Amino acid sequence: MEELSGWGDDFFWGSVVVAQVFIVSLFLMVLFGLIGAGAKLSKNRIANNIAAAYTVIFRGVPEILVLLLLYFGAAIALTNIVQIFDPNIKFLDIPPFWVGSFGIALVVGAYATETFRGAFLGVDPGQIEAARALGISSFKTFIYIQIPEMWRLALPAFGNHMLSLIKDTALISIIGLNETLFVAEQATATTGKPFTMFIVVGLIYLSFSTIITLTVMGLEKYANKHLEHGR
């Protein structure tokens, strides 16, 4: 284990990057999922079709392909735009952090779309009718009744989506983000101990997964609190 000395801080900062990517992509994933579910449930046929295409595409294409396409595609597009203003620029480097977070959020958001859609359908329509009868506006019904009730139903699958997100952060090292896997590759190049380094990465991810699993378990307990008397 002595070969790990000197790399502890690199792995620590790598883990911080993983956590940052996770938080940014979690936010985006919920956003994409809610927009997608809204579009799928709306009566607008164009919105239905766009949402259907979104879920089919991003659930059928490997994550690594999405990331590479976004990364190189965005780099070329931005370079073309910048060259209009300054023809001397040959290639524009774009931050893998944002492209990566956006990419994995798009992929997992496609799965979340289906989860949220199912959960919204699972909310008893009587609840919405009751809210209407009480004169609650449809916006307030959505915020105070549909979201809290849907959330409980979506939680188990949503926990799995969070686990997918945290595991997909490892893929962002392929487009050059200096997270833990990237650190391990550098450490291997210097120390020649690949097994030790990659096992450390595995343990870091295992701890992240454990934290997420325990959090979701706690949230599920909290969300189902009102149902426990019935048992």
Contact 79, 89 (CB under 8 A): yes
Our finding on whether 17 is near other proteins (CB under 8 A) is: no
The residue within the footprint of other proteins, chosen from 170, 175, 183, 216 (CB under 8 A), is 170
Our finding on whether 211 is near other proteins (CB under 8 A) is: no
Our finding on whether 171 is near other proteins (CB under 8 A) is: yes
The residue within the footprint of other proteins, chosen from 195, 226, 227, 228 (CB under 8 A), is 195
Our finding on whether 215 is near other proteins (CB under 8 A) is: no
103: its two tokens: 């990419």
Scanning 6-14, 26-34, 197-205, 223-231 for contacts with other proteins by CB under 8 A, the matching segment is: 197-205
Our finding on whether 68 is near other proteins (CB under 8 A) is: yes
Our finding on whether 63 is near other proteins (CB under 8 A) is: yes
Scanning 31-39, 150-158, 167-175, 223-231 for contacts with other proteins by CB under 8 A, the matching segment is: 167-175
Binding site for other proteins (CB under 8 A): 56-57, 59-66, 68-69, 72-73, 76-77, 80, 163, 167-171, 173-174, 181, 184, 188, 192-199, 201-202, 205-206, 209-210, 213
